Structure 1
Amino acid sequence: MTSTCIHEPRIAASGWQDSLRSGIWPRSVVLWMTVFWLALFIIRPGEMLFPKLAEWHAERLWAIATISAVMAFGMLRLCPSLQTYAVLLFLAALTLSSICSLDGSAAWVELYKYIVLVVSYFVLLSAIRTPYQLVFVVTCYVAITAAYLGKSEYEYFVHGAGAYMMGVKRLIGLDTDYGHPNAVAASSVLALPLVHFLWDARQYFTRTWPQIWRCLFPPALVAFVLLAIPAIVLTNSRSGMLGFVVFVFLTAVSRKTHRARIVGLVCMGLLLVAVWAAMPQDSKDRLRTLWDPSAGPSNAHESAMGRIEGMMAGLMMFERFPVTGVGIGNFIPYRVANVDGVPLDPHNLLGEMLGETGVLGTGAFLLVLAAMMVNCRRTAALAKQGSDADQQMLSRLTEACVHTVLLLLFFGLFSHNLLRFNWLWLAAFALHCRMFSEQICLASQESSDMCVHQHDRHMRSDGA
């Protein structure tokens, strides 16, 4: 049976702690299958860790099993909303771009990746049924990212794994899609707003947990930060280092009072000074190349200029194919044959969007972002109207989603991250926040109306 997310106030109004084993573990089989799929999606063990799994198509088989479980348990939810329509519209734009592309086979590879992302978006909408489950999935995402970073750093320190690029050794990841040093640094930074949210929510979220788990949760969040900061430094990613600075700034200025913002800026400034003092000299020199080309090899400056050239190449493609672009996955072939002969990706979001998807894809993608912002603002507005603890927590989660989107856009200045999984997963989180907040508000109004009705009935009875 398919649900459309309408008239379901009692699902969310039942509270955070619903059907939990030992007060902590959700009992939903579909939810656990979804979490494991997210783990396979991020870690991708079949690419480098266990190549044999690639022969068995383990990730694809598990995805099919998860989708089948969603259908079998009657949990599929379409959730018609501006957010969902925008996601489907972007899919339609990418499909049209692929049909009109110069190389259909190259376009299909990228289109298939996005189709999988859209499926994961609907699975997240279907599997998560309560605010507690939503925050639990966010926690699992952070834990999965921690496992990814921990294994990457273990290979770096113990087995000497890494890649020599731009004159320095750089930490790499466990897969090919997101294993590049810049992508690893981005993954580290993009998880930090959610870690900050979990830190703020730790007492409320873990209030029914067993004592041992409740005590371990804060140190685990601190441990993630202690994994993420070295990962950012060891990748020697200039965009990652700058992204961390942006995260620190967003965290400081998002405080509620003027005094808290000043204190936050001072504390975060001290943190940046401490990180800078602890950084190896190679990493400091790598960052200095942003304003002093002589601090590193010449190819470091050429890499920075290459992003500008990539954006210009994308704008040239957009000028020639303004409606659909040259097609996703076709940037390099078209650039080599018809632009400047450079066999490189655009390395920036704007060039990728306009060059590969044209005005249709760009407009649809911007609609995805706009819908996300609308959901976040609506959740925040509902939280301001009432004092419900669940709504306050959901509002904080949407703030973390907004910060993550801003970081994604910042990284888009230096990387082609149009099809990165974070966009749609954040969209699902934000839509859940709005739906749960509205359902809680509706349930509260129904309860209030019932109390008023009972009071009036008692008054009439007393008068009689």
Structure 2
Amino acid sequence: MHWLLIGYMFLFIDRPFEVWPILGDLHFERFYMLGTMAVWLIYPGKRFLPNRQQAAYAYFAFAVLACWVMSTWSEQGQPIVEDWFKVVVFYVLLVTTVHDEATLKKMVVGFVAVMGLYLLHSLREYIGGRHTYRMGIARMIGVDSTLGDPNSFGASILFALPFVPALWRSGVGGRRGRLLLLGFLGLCSLCILLTGSRGSLIGLVIWGVLTLIRVRRAWLWMLLAAGASPVVFMALPESLQTRFETIVDSEAGPANARESGEGRIEGLFKGLALWGDNPLNGVGPGAWRPATRSKIESHNLYGQLTGELGALGVSAFLFLLYGFWSNLRRIKRVRKQEPEAANEFLFQLSSAVGMSVFMLLLMGNFGHNLFRFTWLWYGGFLIIANHCVARREVAVEEDAEDDVLDLEPAEDAVDGWVVHPGHAKVYQHS
């Protein structure tokens, strides 16, 4: 079952049915998911994990449906709604069949491996001449058409990066695993640079700084990174250098590059204006273009959220963020109680998800990522991790109780009392 889920991850991310038309004509991905769901029906031991974040997802799903039904442009928004609920189906399969740390680790490693294959496939096509020419430069794109846009492609890479230090610190794969992670990190950085996405580059720098300050001799790694940056920058084609210079000097590039940056801010204000006109339900999911008569999407998470889903969506999204926060806080509390286990997989995974959520919110200033699969997949990982940590707590408490009840032989008694190693209390020996 779990290998089937990893296989679907590959189909969803690399999307070979969008690369090779014959697979698209056969609708291979639909048959694959139907087969996976059939296996899920007979899979033993499946159950829904109780968690307030599950309720948040249910409320958000209700908000999406309600806003879509009430939308004047429901027909235009139908593809967005359908695609998002397909992700919900995968999320349900994930959280009902993965309940232990070993299987969760397999799923996370599988996800990172799938991302690596996706990037290698896209890089191969880029070297072969496949790219898009936009903003006056040739920009790398993903092999798929759904999330292959340079900005979306760069964001997908950025949101996967937090899993690199998590797997590194938890020692997954040993020395060979760390070498592969280094290769994956280099591949991610190269692809982000080749996309020409300024938002993704800013996100990469911020993620790098936040990651390096947590390692030993952080100052040394910071100096090395600062020294290597000019070398990497000069190795880029001149067109990309000019593109990234516009981050600090808007006059360095063409006028459309400056207008693109200003469009992100405009997307926020347009969303707020739509919310003011439709306070309860917005204009509906996927209805941004017809409602604003714009040729492009909002390019802003907060404008998209307020404009398309209104108060229903805002309240559901805040509930979802609270679900992330409550799970992260609970796992952090347990980690503080077990400082020697801080580098274990479950605790590192929760940190990775927390960092990814932060990056999603940060990158939301540059892109409309409200219906991105990342919110559901990473939330599923976190819910399962929280469940595993809770089971771990119960096991520790049961072991402690067994130690108390399992009194030592009489020779360990002193004046009628038994002292148990590892416990602060003594118990009277009868």
Match of 1:441 in 2: 393
- Further displaced range: 405-414 or 273-282: 273-282
The one-letter code matched in structure 1 to 2:109 is T
Match of 1:414 in 2: 366
- Out of 347, 351, 357, the position equivalent to 2:303 is 351
Check the 8 A contact 1:379/1:391 in 2, yes or no: no
RMSD in angstroms over aligned alpha carbons? Answer: 2.1
1:279-333 per-residue CA deviation (whole Å, 9 max, x = no partner) reads: 3322221011123233211111111112222222111110000111000011100
CA distance in structure 1 between the aligned counterparts of 2:104 and 2:231, rounded to whole angstroms: 34
Q: Does 1:73 align with 2:43?
A: yes
Q: Does 1:43 align with 2:14?
A: yes
1:70-128 per-residue CA deviation (whole Å, 9 max, x = no partner) reads: 22113432222111000010000000000111122222211112211212212111232
TM-score, normalising length from structure 1? Answer: 0.85
1:237-274 per-residue CA deviation (whole Å, 9 max, x = no partner) reads: 1111111111112102344xxx7444453344345344
* Structure-2 change in CA distance of 1:72 and 1:461 (3 Å): farther
Match of 1:452 in 2: 404
Match of 1:219 in 2: 179
Q: Does 1:165 align with 2:134?
A: yes
CA distance in structure 2 between the aligned counterparts of 1:275 and 1:452, rounded to whole angstroms: 60
CA distance in structure 2 between the aligned counterparts of 1:267 and 1:433, rounded to whole angstroms: 34
Instruction: Please state how far the C-alpha of 1:439 moved relative to its aligned partner.
Output: 0.5
Instruction: Please state how far the C-alpha of 1:228 moved relative to its aligned partner.
Output: 1.1
Q: Describe the SS at the equivalent of 1:66.
A: helix
Instruction: Please state how far the C-alpha of 1:374 moved relative to its aligned partner.
Output: 1.3
The one-letter code matched in structure 2 to 1:65 is G
- Out of 420, 427, 435, the position equivalent to 2:379 is 427
Match of 1:6 in 2: none
The residue correspondences of 1:9-88 to structure 2 (distance < 5 A) are 30-47=1-18, 49-88=19-58
* Structure-2 change in CA distance of 1:197 and 1:54 (3 Å): same
- Out of 55, 72, 76, the position equivalent to 1:106 is 76
Instruction: Please state how far the C-alpha of 1:455 moved relative to its aligned partner.
Output: 1.3
Check the 8 A contact 2:99/2:387 in 1, yes or no: no
The one-letter code matched in structure 2 to 1:233 is L
Match of 1:394 in 2: 346
* Structure-2 change in CA distance of 1:390 and 1:303 (3 Å): closer
Q: Describe the SS at the equivalent of 1:46.
A: helix
Q: Does 1:404 align with 2:404?
A: no
Q: Describe the SS at the equivalent of 2:262.
A: helix
Q: Does 1:186 align with 2:155?
A: yes
Match of 2:126 in 1: 156
CA distance in structure 1 between the aligned counterparts of 2:112 and 2:153, rounded to whole angstroms: 14
Match of 1:211 in 2: none
Instruction: Please state how far the C-alpha of 1:387 moved relative to its aligned partner.
Output: 5.3
Match of 1:10 in 2: none
CA distance in structure 1 between the aligned counterparts of 2:287 and 2:90, rounded to whole angstroms: 25
Q: Describe the SS at the equivalent of 2:133.
A: strand
CA distance in structure 2 between the aligned counterparts of 1:452 and 1:125, rounded to whole angstroms: 35
Instruction: Please state how far the C-alpha of 1:390 moved relative to its aligned partner.
Output: 8.4
Structure 2 portions without partners, runs of 5+: 419-428
Paired-residue identity, %:
31
* Structure-2 change in CA distance of 1:275 and 1:70 (3 Å): same
CA distance in structure 2 between the aligned counterparts of 1:222 and 1:283, rounded to whole angstroms: 24
Instruction: Please state how far the C-alpha of 1:58 moved relative to its aligned partner.
Output: 1.6
Structure 1 portions without partners, runs of 5+: 1-29, 207-213, 337-341
1:352-372 per-residue CA deviation (whole Å, 9 max, x = no partner) reads: 000000011121112112211
Q: Does 1:132 align with 2:66?
A: no
CA distance in structure 2 between the aligned counterparts of 1:290 and 1:265, rounded to whole angstroms: 21
The one-letter code matched in structure 1 to 2:192 is I
CA distance in structure 2 between the aligned counterparts of 1:461 and 1:289, rounded to whole angstroms: 76
CA distance in structure 2 between the aligned counterparts of 1:407 and 1:140, rounded to whole angstroms: 21
